[in-house]
Structure 1
């Protein structure tokens, strides 16, 4: 059988509608510390000059950030940036409100410079992506693996400094490039913490081929034996490994992904429920409706009707 391979990370990022936004930069020096409220979106910062200390609520120990380092805060947790330990922080809000020329300043000098921003996602991002990531991902910038991240940051700096036409749009697209590379580096083991769920499966040599096959042909009537053949292992080995790494069996995962695809089509398009059923691997509207209601608690038609009433 000709097995189509897909990129689950690309598909999930597209499904949750990822957008990047840059925020006011930060310049600091001397002894300084700033406390930040839990951000409502996924937060990122990159150290462009100097070094500082990051402390995140609920994460044991501070994280030392050097020039070129990036961090991604995937959960709404309070955090502190400081010149070093033991400095009493000031609230970040008033400092950023007083920013001039797109830069906030704290402390007595300009030893440290950071750029940052946020990533916004659609309604399914928490369960599909953010819950399978650690609360903070730190990627050291001075490694060979982080070369593309450094390139993206250099380009963002140039866009913000020189302000050519459409510079904000270009910089925000570059921030998305940076996000994808941060996630790649995390999967490759360059970041701190461990992935879980399907994201961990992408880093597993046995599970990854099966995941890519299911994403490549979600409408196919996959069996565990077929998926095991794709992964070149026995049926029992794949079933056990998939359950251990991803947290659910391969066919259970496939059903969940089909429901995500169906939900996305119901939300974004006008196809009939019967047409959507065929696209995601169900032979009839009633078969999709039964599975959809079992997993989401509502029927496809009621789900679409509710969405449209909210949009009015």
Structure 2
């Protein structure tokens, strides 16, 4: 989603990337244990994240979850959803968290993310459920309420709608399960 070439117009942008590159060079030249690995991680973290921040800071219209995190109002609602996925969120509460009316929030969220806040919440819960089903052995009766579902059957129905199979089938797929997982 990033452009192939980005022009750094601001001195602060150039300084941040210059610092990142200089730090990577120091790591490689220091011959410290793990220096090459540190340089590799710095390249991924610093350069990519800096490029992403610069891109998002420019007023580019775009659709997707990271555009919502670039919006100061929507990001507070997204952080709340991510912090408390099991909470029974309403549009009014999320709008209030974002400092907007319910209707303005819902419209802006949909325009920015490409889905409604409740659809996003549901998909986020299912991503968390997929992770728990892949990595843990908690029964579905434990996973469901931990993600905000009042019953195992409500959770299973939502899971099947979003993922395309039941939680039990998903767990039984083992390592091939990640192919079914929805994108963030």
Mark the CA change 1:161 to 1:195 in structure 2 (over 3 Å): closer, same or farther: farther
Contact 1:218 1:254 (C-alpha < 8 Å) held by counterparts: yes
Deviation at 1:197, TM superposition (A): 1.2
Q: Say whether 1:169 aligns with 2:37.
A: yes
TM-score, scaled to structure 2: 0.83
Write 1 or 2 for the structure with the bigger share of strand: 1
Figure out how many residues of one structure are paired with residues of the other and give that number. 176
Extract structure 1 runs of 4+ deviating beyond 4 A.
none
Q: 1:138 is paired with a residue of what secondary structure? A: coil
RMSD over equivalenced CA pairs, Å: 2.3
Mark the CA change 1:139 to 1:302 in structure 2 (over 3 Å): closer, same or farther: farther
Q: 2:161 aligns with which of 273, 277, 294?
A: 294
Larger radius of gyration: 1
Mark the CA change 1:224 to 1:272 in structure 2 (over 3 Å): closer, same or farther: same
Deviation at 1:271, TM superposition (A): 2.1
* 1:1-312 aligned within 5 A: 133-136=1-4, 138=6, 140=8, 143-178=11-46, 179-189=48-58, 195-307=62-174
Higher RCO (Cα < 8 Å, 6 or more apart):
1
CA distance in 1, matches of 2:171, 2:93: 34
